[in-house]
Amino acid sequence: MLYHLLYPLSENYIIFNVFKYITFRSIGGTLTALLVCLFFGPWFIRVMSEKHIGQEIRYDGPSTHIKKKGIPTMGGSLILVAVGLSTLLWANLENSYVWMCLIITIGFGGIGFLDDYLKIKRANSRGLRGWHKFLMQSILAGIFGFVLYYKADFDPVVSIPFFKKTIINLGILYIFFVAFVIVAASNAVNLTDGLDGLAVGPIITTAATYFIFTYVAGHMKFSQYLQIQYIPGSGELAVFCGAIAGAGLGFLWYNTYPAQVFMGDVGSLSLGAAIGSVAILSKQELLLVIVGGIFILETVSVIFQVLFYKWKKERIFLMAPIHHHFEIKGWEEPKVTVRFWIVSIILALLALSTLKLR
């Protein structure tokens, strides 16, 4: 919006020429989202508390979590507002990729909102049935993949990290691949969101990493120099990624241990879908396995735990997802969270190193 309002003024006032640059508008989007969460955070927490919209607890989990019952939840709604408002203010709204990411993010946020609402209404930790949630996610993600596959200016192929000219053409199966990436990313973030600040930390590092990849992929000279696929228009997604990182930082101010608010499924499902959609549009889908390694680890720990228990009637971990395993072993919650953040930063740096290892 600001781009369309102020950039035309650059013909008479050179200072407005800065709105031409994606880097400037990305920083503006990051700071705007940060300030929205910081400023409205206390009001949001107060309103949720007054309306008794609080967290429901799994009583089969670590006993230290019982004290978290009743802490305001659905903080992801604030994140969604911050990301949406900042993106609309600072991005080029003629860019179709921006709208696609906003729509898929809000759509998954709606699924998460319904899940959170049912938990609060029923006063327990069970919301939507698993297959209901999965079906709605798959339909939304499938539509996203369908639109991309038939989009005239988008090449529906998969690029391989570390190999500069290796791409895979999946044909019509690309639609299912897109749906899988988005749904998997969404649920992986949801599984990770089990400790104060645990999920939002890796979300910030992942969004910051894709901020760089989307900018490079959308810049002809940089993409040619670094030998990654050039995707016209994808650079505008850097504004969207900046907004996610900024909103995440602002939310973390209130979500860090001891948390004053939780993001709920409305936040975790939508942010996971947002990251997945950006990975697809920047042609760095498989790189999400590296940069989002924490989310992968959490998901794999649950899968292995379930399969091994069905096979041997024994558990690999004391409790899954794996962050609960470390809690039960005696690690303090902040220690688990910060160490996972450190690993996330290391993985982000490894992902960025692939820019030169091609």
Contact assessment for residue 71 and residue 57, using Cβ atoms and an 8 Å cutoff: no
* Residue 246 resides in a domain: yes
Q: pLDDT by residue (tens digit) across 279-319?
A: 999 999 989 999 999 999 999 999 999 998 888 888 899 99
Q: Which phi and psi (to 5°) does residue 110 adopt?
A: -65, -40
* Residue 10 resides in a domain: no
Say what the pLDDT of residue 62 is: 65
- Mean pLDDT, rounded, of the chain: 91
Domain count within the chain: 1
Distant-in-sequence, close-in-space partners of 132: CB < 8 Å, separation ≥ 6: none
Q: Tell me, what DSSP letter sits at residue 252?
A: H
* Residue 257 resides in a domain: yes
Kindly state the average pLDDT of the residues 205-219: 96
Q: How far apart are CA 107 and CA 141, in angstroms?
A: 9
User: Which residues, listed in sequence order, are joined to residue 159 by a DSSP beta bridge?
Assistant: 167
* Residue 324 resides in a domain: yes
Dihedral angle sign, alpha carbons of residues 289, 235, 142, 208: positive
Q: Is the pLDDT of residue 24 over 80?
A: yes
Site of tokens 């939310």: 251
Q: Worst-scoring range by mean pLDDT, 137-146, 169-178, 220-229, 328-337?
A: 220-229
* Residue 20 resides in a domain: no
Domain of residue 320 covers: 25-353
Share of the chain above pLDDT 70, in %: 94
Kindly state the average pLDDT of the residues 143-147: 96
* Residue 132 resides in a domain: yes
